[in-house]
Amino acid sequence: DGGITQSPKYLFRKEGQNVTLSCEQNLNHDAMYWYRQDPGQGLRLIYYSQIVNDFQKGDIAEGYSVSREKKESFPLTVTSAQKNPTAFYLCASSIDPQGGTKNIQYFGAGTRLSVL
Amino acid sequence: EDQVTQSPEALRLQEGESSSLNCSYTVSGLRGLFWYRQDPGKGPEFLFTLYSAGEEKEKERLKATLTKKESFLHITAPKPEDSATYLCAVYGGATNKLIFGTGTLLAVQP
């Protein structure tokens, strides 16, 4: 089955710890995205990547880092600099981010991150 | 500033009671409006995309319409399994990114 796999489903972070959220897609999509979802707020873009070895900051990139070494994979690291990391994190992908029918974003099942 | 506003925030319907959800937007140069369904604890599921005023799309009990300022998601004779949060997003404007509304939480009671 084609799709986007996020892992783990639940993650706990200790004070001062960096944690990495995994996102893998087998849809052969060029573009991948990371969003953060908090209660009562719309999805907010953290980082996105349009091509391997390239990525751009979204609206709330501070305290996060990403890499895009393979087309299929776009891991997100939540660093200790992110002081309020508790949220639901969503990964998405699209064929082409430039517009039209090719920029429909498909989402994974999400990772819920909590602070211990 | 590009913006998406959804209303109402929450809606409770009886099974079979038809209604509409609203998504109003301000964006220069709309290049797509998207509707998603999100179940609790899960990722959004794509429903529809609309590109120009007057366009309509249908899927089972759902019908999405688009004008130059807003989109409606019409739900005809809803069932309890239609209960979910419905998200609207627009693509276009200066940011060249997908901008999401905060969603409408729909509860359909049997």
Instruction: Give DSSP secondary structure letters for A10-58.
Output: EEEE-TT--EEEEEEE-S--SEEEEEEE-TTS--EEEEEEEETTEEEE-
Is residue A101 within 8 angstroms of chain B, CB to CB? Answer: yes
Average pLDDT over residues B52-71: 96
Residue A15: the pLDDT is 86
CB B13 within 8 A of CB B109: yes
Query: What Rg, from alpha-carbon coordinates, does chain A have?
Result: 13
Looking at residue A69, the DSSP 8-state letter turns out to be: S
Residue A16: the pLDDT is 87
Is residue A11 within 8 angstroms of chain B, CB to CB? Answer: no
Q: How far from chain centre, in Å, is Cα A83?
A: 18
Looking at residue A9, the DSSP 8-state letter turns out to be: S
Average pLDDT over residues A21-36: 96
Question: How far is Cα A79 from Cα A98, in angstroms, rounded to an integer?
Answer: 30
CB B87 within 8 A of CB B79: no
For B69-100, how does the pLDDT look when each residue is reduced to its tens digit (9 = 90+)?
A: 999 999 999 999 999 999 999 987 766 789 99
Q: How far is A5 from chain B (nearest CA, A)?
A: 11
Among the ranges given (A41-50, A76-85, A96-105, B63-72), the one the predictor scored with the smallest mean pLDDT: A96-105
Query: CA–CA distance from A98 to each of A30, A94, A95, B10, B26 (Å)?
Result: 11, 10, 9, 33, 20
Beta bridge partners of A91: A34
Average pLDDT over residues B29-55: 94
Average pLDDT over residues A98-114: 85
| Chain B residues lying within 8 Å of A101, measured CB to CB | 49
Contact A42 B49 (CB under 8 A): no
Question: How far is Cα B78 from Cα A16, in angstroms, rounded to an integer?
Answer: 47
pLDDT band at A96 (very low <50, low <70, confident <90, very high): confident
Residue A103: the pLDDT is 81
Pick A64 or A116 by higher pLDDT: A64
pLDDT band at A1 (very low <50, low <70, confident <90, very high): low
Average pLDDT over residues B46-71: 96
Residue B2: the pLDDT is 86
* Strand ranges (E), B19-103: 19-26, 30-38, 45-50, 56-59, 62-66, 70-75, 84-92, 97-100
What is the rounded average pLDDT for all residues in chain B? 95
Enter the tokens of residue B67: 């004008």
Question: How far is Cα B14 from Cα B80, in angstroms, rounded to an integer?
Answer: 9
Residue A40: the pLDDT is 85
Is cis: bond before B8, omega within 30 of 0? Answer: yes
Residue A101: the pLDDT is 59
Three-state SS at B47: strand
Average pLDDT over residues A56-68: 96
What is the rounded average pLDDT for all residues in chain A? 93
Indicate whether A100 pLDDT > 80. Answer: no
Interface test with A, best of B98, B100, B104 (most A CBs within 10 A): B98
Q: How far is A80 from chain B (nearest CA, A)?
A: 25
Contact B45 A110 (CB under 8 A): no
Question: How far is Cα A85 from Cα B24, in angstroms, rounded to an integer?
Answer: 30
Indicate whether B110 pLDDT > 60. Answer: yes
